Amino acid sequence: MYNFEFEKPGSVADAVAALGAEDAQALGGGQTLIPTLKQRLNQPSKLVSLSGIADMKGVSASGGMITIGGATTHATVAAEASAYPALAATAAHIGDPAVRNRGTIGGSLANNDPAACYPAALLGSGGSVKTDNRDIDADEYFQGMFSTALEEGEIITGVTFNIPEKANYQKFVQPASRFALVGVFVAKHADGVRVAITGASEDGVFRWSEAETALSSNFSAAALDGISVSADGMITDLHGTGAYRAHLLGILTKRAVAAAA
Amino acid sequence: MNKVSMTVNGKAVSGEVEGRTLLSSFLRDDINLTGTHVGCDTSQCGACVVHVDGEAVKSCTMLAAEADGAEVKTIEGMANADGSLSVIQQAFQDHHGLQCGFCTPGMVMSAAALLKENPQPSEQEVRTYLEGNICRCTGYHNIVKAIMAASGQDVSVIAAE
């Protein structure tokens, strides 16, 4: 790892100021960033830890929405997001227990790994990402693999999810990394169904609109019979081909619909 | 350089670390607590698990500077005050929950974290909790057995193959 300065501010304003330094980067729980730095794939001049900002931690629910502070760990979401059980269950299966005690929701969403779980949960639920200076709609936020609407130095201070009538996340675990080989988040809202897929597309998380249309008129696994996704643009790697992932996401979507609660 | 002060196994320690210094490096190289092992250095194997403010974390994937002010507990802090093995450590010995022993510090620290939040876990819950701790010798059966035994449960029915 190349060396860097370390700073741990106690407020969002101080963190924004610290991130103004050239090549400074925010540090969430570090469960992706630190391994990346070890591989010398990145060389920040300064890491600005967000873990000392009390305002960015915690879970609160009201008015059909749940808001999670950007520096809240996966373990805390798993334990405290009882107002949205499918979200708590999603958080409870990220990585392993020690990773969940450090990794944060803001860090995961800022990184937007194409196989991460939270992007599917947020895009599937609908909602918004709150930063130090604006709110970004979930549908505008994800812009491709490892790419988001965040500007340089912008910090995710909180994330708001719309709580659906029913939801479920099905994750086919890649057992070495604990990431999703494919993950499917299905949410049945009063005004329609949202289906978000992670782990499959070369463009990162995406909504499967054909399935959404079918499920919005008939919320049952049978409504998906005959609907499939093309393997074009699906990730092919040593764990599975694009065709395999395209098939798997159909199966997992059916399972998610059947299990939605 | 960053000044850090923390409590490790009940004792106040302090030092100066670079930004990039990992907590595992600080524990092993700066304060000579080499019981915490670094197996993979990629946050997969769990040999480096320690407790920070009561929570299990992978110390190779946390900066030492992040632990400033924290209470850290390592495998060296697990034995009883008189030096005898703790219940979990004794159970690993009794049930042959280790062979080469490299993963054992992390296994014991993860086991302690599990039993704190779930004092009577099922066999499946133990196996699930240990997803982030890799052992290349035992095949896990005796580790699971040791943890179940440490929780006071009857382990005579658990497969021993």
Q: Do B66 and A178 touch (CB under 8 A)?
A: no
| Enclosing domain of residue A12 | 5-49
Q: Is A10 on the interface with B (CB under 8 A)?
A: no
Mutation test of the interface with chain B: which of A6, A31, A46, choosing the one with the most B Cβ atoms within 10 A? A6
- Does the pLDDT at position A259 exceed 70? yes
pLDDT band at B157 (very low <50, low <70, confident <90, very high): confident
- What is the rounded distance in angstroms from the CA atom of residue A138 to the CA atom of residue A251? 25
> What residues contact residue B57 under an 8 Å CB cut-off, 6+ apart?
A98, A101, A102, B23, B49, B50, B51
Hey, are the CB atoms on B20 and A2 less than 8 Å from each other?
yes
Give, as one character, the DSSP assignment of residue B27: I
Chain B CB within 8 Å of residue A191 CB: no
Please indicate, yes or no, if residue B161 is contained in any of the structural domains: no
The answer on B69 and B124 residing in a single domain is no
Q: Are residues B64 and B104 in the same domain?
A: no
- E-strand ranges in A57-176 read 59-62, 65-69, 127-131, 135-137, 156-162, 166-173
Look at residue A211 in the predicted model and tell me its pLDDT. 98
The domain total for chain A is 3
Write the residue in B42, B49, B56 that is nearest to A35 by C-beta.
B42
pLDDT at B120: 96
CB contact set of A218 (below 8 Å; sequence gap of 6+)? none
| A4: nearest CB among B20, B61, B133 | B20
pLDDT at B158 over 80: no
Is the domain of A204 the same as that of A242? yes
Q: How far is B5 from chain A (nearest CA, A)?
A: 14
- A-chain residues near B19 (CB < 8 A): 3-6, 46-47
Beta bridge mates, A60: A67
| Domain-embedded: residue B123 | yes
Q: Assess: ipTM above 0.85.
A: yes
Tokens of A55: 């305002």
pLDDT at B41: 87
B38-64, pLDDT tens digit by residue?
A: 999 888 999 999 999 999 999 999 999
The reply to whether B55 and B97 lie within a common domain is no
Residue in chain B nearest A43 by alpha carbon: B20
Residue B158 lies in a domain: no
pLDDT tens track for B16-32 = 999 999 999 999 999 99
- Among candidate residues B77, B100, B130, the one where a domain is terminated: B77
pLDDT mean across residues, chain A: 97
Domain assignment present for residue B13? The answer is yes
Eight-class DSSP state of A220: S
Identify whether residues B30 and B94 lie together within a single domain: no
Do A63 and A144 lie in one domain? The reply is yes
| Contact status, residue B129 vs residue B147, Cβ threshold 8 Å | no
- What's the structural domain count of chain B? 2
Of A35, A51, A95, the CB nearest to B66: A51
CATH of the domain at A33: 3.30.43.10
A14-42 in b/e form (b: 16+ CB < 10 A) is: ebbebbeeeebbbbbbbbbbbbebbeeee
pLDDT digits (tens, 9 = 90+) for B92-112: 999 999 999 999 999 999 999
Domain boundary among A103, A135, A162: A162
Query: Which pLDDT tens digit goes with each residue over A27-70?
Result: 999 999 999 999 999 999 999 999 999 999 999 999 999 999 99
| CA-based nearest distance B29→chain A, Å | 16
Reported as a single tens digit per residue, the pLDDT across A203-222 is 999 999 999 999 999 999 99
pLDDT tens digits along A87-145:
999 999 999 999 999 999 999 999 999 999 999 999 999 999 999 999 999 999 999 99
Say yes or no for a CB contact (<8 Å) between B132 and A46.
no
Q: Give the Cα separation of B67 and B44 in Å (integer).
A: 20
Residues B58 and B7 in one domain: yes
**Mean pLDDT of the region A78-87:** 98
| Encoded tokens for A168 | 């479920």
**Helix boundaries (H) for B34-159:** 87-94, 104-117, 123-129, 141-150
CATH number at residue A181: 3.30.390.50
Per the structure, the complete domain to which residue B131 belongs is given by: 87-150
